[in-house]
Amino acid sequence: MSGNAALGEAAVLAGCTCYFGYPITPQNELTEYMAKRMAEVPGGVFIQSESEIAAINMVLGASVAGARAMTSSSSPGISLKQEGISYLAADELPAVIADMVRGGPGMGNISPAQSDYLQATRGGGHGDYKTIVLAPASVQELADLVPVAFDLADEYRNPVIILGDGMLGQLMEPVSFDHIKPPAEFPKDYILNGAKGRPSRMIHSLLFDTKLEEEHNWKLYRKFQRIEQNEVRFETFMLEDAEMVVIAYGTSARIAKGAIKRLRQENLKVGLIRPITVWPFPTEIIQETANRVENFFVFEMSTGQLIEDVKLALGGKRHIHFYGRPGGVIPTPIELYRVTSRHYYQAVREKSQ
Amino acid sequence: MKQIYGRPKILKEAHFHYCPGCGHSIVNRLIAEVVEEMKLRDKIICVAPAGCGMLLYNYFDIDTLESAHGRGAAVSTGIKRVLTDSLVFSYQGDGDLAAIGTAEGFHAANRGELITVIFVNNGVYGMTGGQMAPTTILRQVTTTCPAGRNPDSAGHPVKICEVFSMLDGTSYLERVAVNKPAAVIQAKKAIAKAFQHQINKTGFSLVEILSPCPTNWKMDPIRSCKWIDEVMVKEFPLGVIKEVTC
Ligand SMILES: Cc1ncc(C[n+]2csc(CCOP(=O)(O)OP(=O)(O)O)c2C)c(N)n1
Ligand code: SF4
């Protein structure tokens, strides 16, 4: 199954009953899958919207009405959704947004890229807010993380982004949905469904009073701190004895694993830290590792965005090597193997001098 | 003693923030009266705009959500598709619906979404200080067309009802005004009728309300009401623009 279709099926199994989308490559298979699948789901809603702006606002409406709602797009379309994502965060409404990143800026191309890392992890739209960002590295993991995304969105009442790329979306891999449980129940005491037998409710983000706006911003901030404390996810690979540690997420982490296996055959002690949540970022494991490892190697399909978080985590204390390919170029494991071993030997030389 | 007139229960005790003579306050009251008379409180959801009507949630004792500027029809669509038995309306100004939110309004209308738009046309951007709106009359002076609206550079007034009437998804489109008692009574009837179309599931309904903005028109309230009859109505003729029998 393609990553895009697996994402759709996992969403259905996770209780998503509303999908709103606008065509854009490389995520069209998901929109098409949902067009078919939502018709089979009781109460299922599918709308091919007039724009990404409309789609995210339909998600907002469905979310306010109490449904599990989702939209998806790729880079240029996600830019248009940022207005709505900011409102979802401000209104504290759950929603899941999938971003199958492609090369940019501007129209860019339709090849896989990781150049929207900063947009996804820094809020992306206007105002002081964050989105939870999950970055799967395989079709199975993508399917596994979709129910997690919906649960996190409901638990924290905040938008959650699934950050993939064109490769993950279009990759065909075997995938199992067996372990996806029916969705958990979350309190819906905020939804708008007509004030029958209860006081009317209002949801708004306009707070003319600067004191109230500040209070609201701090309240959101405290929520984001809770998320940072509780929801960090990462994977480590051959980390125990590593002398150089690659930090990469999503597709590039997958490429890095291939390269590391080869490096290990030559006894180069290279390991991997793979953030699964890129926000909240796994700062602690990087800092712990830095207690014994001098050399880190950031690899991403961009000119350098993830590296900013690694720099923040390391606080200037360790050596950071970097390799990035922007514009939709997918480096091969062999290429990364060569680059990594070059940096590895350079580090060894410097140490012995 | 028999009470023959009073405050609708749907209107909270809050004071309107609207300027003296503003049409928004009349429209707010009319909606509250209709919601009460049609017994809709239990199932109605209001989507408020960015614009002078944005504080509706302070006034209406009904479930209300603030929408981003112009996105009311898309948000209403999302709500209504989930809660198919509810009654959903967005309240939008002319900048909101006829400029930044044209796409969302147009396509919701075209899909025949079972929602209602209460469209307050005051010919200016009230909230931001009286800039030109898509519905500003030719040669009307605003802060961003200080020499009067010139069609060569600023185009012509947008007639939302007439444009939307071409879309097969629309079932009820009426243009009314709130500048004199008879017009206000008609406006109330139009709002009730639009809601009834939504209840009967005939299609998308919209009521366009010509509404005075004395502050930005730089006229006193009485002059503003007269100006609607003398000038605005000539550009925006009143009446039912489209009605599909339900
Ligand atoms: C994206 C965005 N752009 C601009 C604004 C600023 N803004 C607030 S209300 C408004 C227009 C109000 O005019 P109108 O819709 O005609 O309503 P009125 O105030 O006249 O009732 C604008 C431009 C905003 N809130 N959001
Ligand atoms: S600025 Fe105009 S539309 Fe806004 S409240 Fe005042 S009179 Fe009404």
Of the residues A204, A206, A209, the best mutation for testing chain B's interface (the one with the most B CB atoms within 10 Å of its CB) is A204
CB of A253 closer than 8 Å to CB of A136:
no
* pLDDT tens column, A27-74: 999 999 999 999 999 999 999 999 999 999 999 999 999 999 999 999
pLDDT above 90 (res A183): no
Question: Atom 5 (ligand 2): residue with closest C-alpha?
Answer: B18
* pLDDT tens column, B186-235: 999 999 999 999 999 999 999 999 999 999 999 999 999 999 999 999 99
Q: Helix (H, G, I), strand (E, B), or coil: what is residue A97?
A: strand
Band (A351; pLDDT cuts 50, 70, 90): confident
Does the complex come out with an ipTM higher than 0.95?
yes
Q: Is the CB of B217 under 6 A from ligand 2?
A: no
Share of chain A above pLDDT 90, in %: 97
If you average pLDDT over residues A299-319, what whole number do you get? 97
R_g (Cα) of chain B, nearest Å: 17
How many C-beta atoms lie closer than 10 Å to residue A35's C-beta?
15
Q: Give the bridge partners for B124, in sequence order.
A: B132
Nearest CA in chain B to A55: B74
Strand ranges, E, within B146-185? 170-177
Report how far apart, in Å, the C-alpha atoms of B155 and of each of B92, B135, B163, B216, B230 are.
Answer: 21, 10, 15, 20, 22
If you average pLDDT over residues A165-194, what whole number do you get? 94
Predicted TM-score (pTM) of this structure: 0.97
pLDDT above 90 (res A246): yes
Q: Is any Cβ of chain B less than 8 angstroms from the Cβ of A96? A: no
Counts for chain A of helices (H) and strands (E), in that order: 12, 13
Tell me how far apart the alpha carbons of residues B169 and A102 are, in angstroms, rounded to a whole number: 36
Residues of chain B with pLDDT under 50: none
Whether B63 and A194 lie within 8 Å, measured CB to CB? yes
Category of B104 on φ-ψ map: left (φ > 0), alpha (ψ -120 to 50) or beta: alpha
Identify the pLDDT of residue B99. 98
- Burial class of residue A266 in the structure, from the number of CB atoms within 10 Å of its CB (0-12 exposed, 13-18 middle, 19+ buried): exposed
* Inter-chain contacts counted by CB atoms under 8 A, chains A and B: 139
Whether A194 and B45 lie within 8 Å, measured CB to CB? yes
Query: Taking Cα atoms as reference points, which of A308, A296, A300, A298 lies closest to residue A326?
Result: A300
Shortest-distance atom of ligand 1 to CA B68: 26
Contacts of B38 in chain A (CB under 8 A): none
Query: Taking Cα atoms as reference points, which of A53, A48, A117 lies closest to residue A80?
Result: A53
Q: Which residue has the tokens 């990087």?
A: A286
Average pLDDT along chain A: 97
Q: Which residue has the tokens 């038995």?
A: B85
If you average pLDDT over residues A229-256, what whole number do you get? 98
Band (A353; pLDDT cuts 50, 70, 90): confident
Of the residues A83, A91, A200, the best mutation for testing chain B's interface (the one with the most B CB atoms within 10 Å of its CB) is A200
Identify the pLDDT of residue B246. 60
Query: Taking Cα atoms as reference points, which of A303, A195, A262, A292 lies closest to residue B87?
Result: A195
How many C-beta atoms lie closer than 10 Å to residue A238's C-beta?
17
Report the half-sphere exposure of A245 (CA within 13 A, side-chain side): 29
Q: Positive or negative, the Cα torsion across A189, B54, B103, A129?
A: negative
Q: Is any Cβ of chain B less than 8 angstroms from the Cβ of A83? A: yes
Q: Positive or negative, the Cα torsion across B4, B9, B14, B20?
A: negative
Of the residues A189, A202, A203, the best mutation for testing chain B's interface (the one with the most B CB atoms within 10 Å of its CB) is A202
Tell me how far apart the alpha carbons of residues B115 and A198 are, in angstroms, rounded to a whole number: 23
Contacts of B74 in chain A (CB under 8 A): 49, 53-55, 57-58, 61
Contacts of A206 in chain B (CB under 8 A): 54-55, 66
Q: Is any Cβ of chain B less than 8 angstroms from the Cβ of A89? A: no
